[in-house]
Structure 1
Amino acid sequence: MNTKKNKGMLPPREFAKRVLKYAFYSLMLLLISIGIGIFGYHYFGDLEYIDSFYNASMILTGMGPVNEMKTEGAKFFASFYALFSGVIFLSTVAIFFAPIAHRLMHLLRIEELDD
C-alpha cells in the first residue's frame, strides 16, 4: 500500500497523479500486448503489419478474429494470444480502476482487518 494506515485520503491533486500513473501502467500493458500480437500475426500468420495490428486489436478487445489462420503455427499462436488477451484485458481494467476503487473504499470508510 502506498499510504500509511492512519493517514487520510490523498488530496485531489495527488489522487489525480496516482490515477494518471495507473493509467500509464495500463497503457504500457496494452501497448506491449498489442506489440506481441502484431509480431505474432505478422510472423506466424504471414499478415502485413496493418492487418496484424487489426487482428491483434480485435482479439485484445474481445471482438474476435478477422483473418483466417492457415497454418498450424498460426492457429496455435492465435489460440494462445486469444487466451492471453482475455487475461490482459481484465488485468488492464483492474489496474486502471485500482486507485479509484481504493478511493471509494476510503470514502465509504472500509478498512482492512488486522490479523
Structure 2
Amino acid sequence: MMAHAAFVLVLMAASILAGVVGFILLEGKEIEDAVLHSAYMLSGLGLLEVPNSFAGKLFIGFYGLYASMFFLAAFGIIFAPVVHRILHKLHLD
C-alpha cells in the first residue's frame, strides 16, 4: 500500500508542476502564487481568483477537469490493495 501511495504522491507532484507551468505561462503568476493556485485546484477547493486571459480561462477549465479525474484515480490507486485483500478474504476472484 505504501508503494501505491508513493506513486500517487509522485503523480501529484507532477500534476502540481504542470499546473504551475500553466499558471506562470498563461496567467503571468509568480511561482509561489502558481503553486498555491495549482494545489487548490488539484485538491478540489477551486479557484482563488478568476483568470484574466482567455487562454488562462481555457487552462483553468481543462486543469479543473483533470483535477477531478486525478482525485478519482488517486483514490482508486491507493485503495486497490485494500479491495484486493477483501476480495481474497471472501474467496472472490
TM bucket by the smaller chain?
over 0.9
Supply the distance in 1 between the matched residues of 2:73 and 2:59 (Cα, whole angstroms): 20
TM-score by length of 2: 0.94
Give the number of the structure whose residues are more often helix, by fraction.
2
Query: Which has the larger Rg?
Result: 1
Q: Give the equivalent residue in structure 2 for 1:77.
A: 59
Any unmatched runs of 5+ in structure 2?
none
The amino acid that maps onto 1:69 is P
Displacement, 1:79? 0.7
Displacement, 1:89? 1.3
Q: Give the equivalent residue in structure 2 for 1:88.
A: 70
Any unmatched runs of 5+ in structure 1?
1-18
Displacement, 1:45? 1.2
Alignment match of 2:38 (pick from 35, 56, 65): 56
Q: Give the equivalent residue in structure 2 for 1:27.
A: 9
The amino acid that maps onto 2:82 is I
User: Aligned residues: percent identity?
Assistant: 29
2:77 pairs with 1:98: no
Displacement, 1:67? 2.2
CA RMSD of aligned residues (A): 0.9
The alignment partner of 2:21 has SS state of helix
Supply the distance in 1 between the matched residues of 2:19 and 2:8 (Cα, whole angstroms): 17
TM-score by length of 1: 0.77
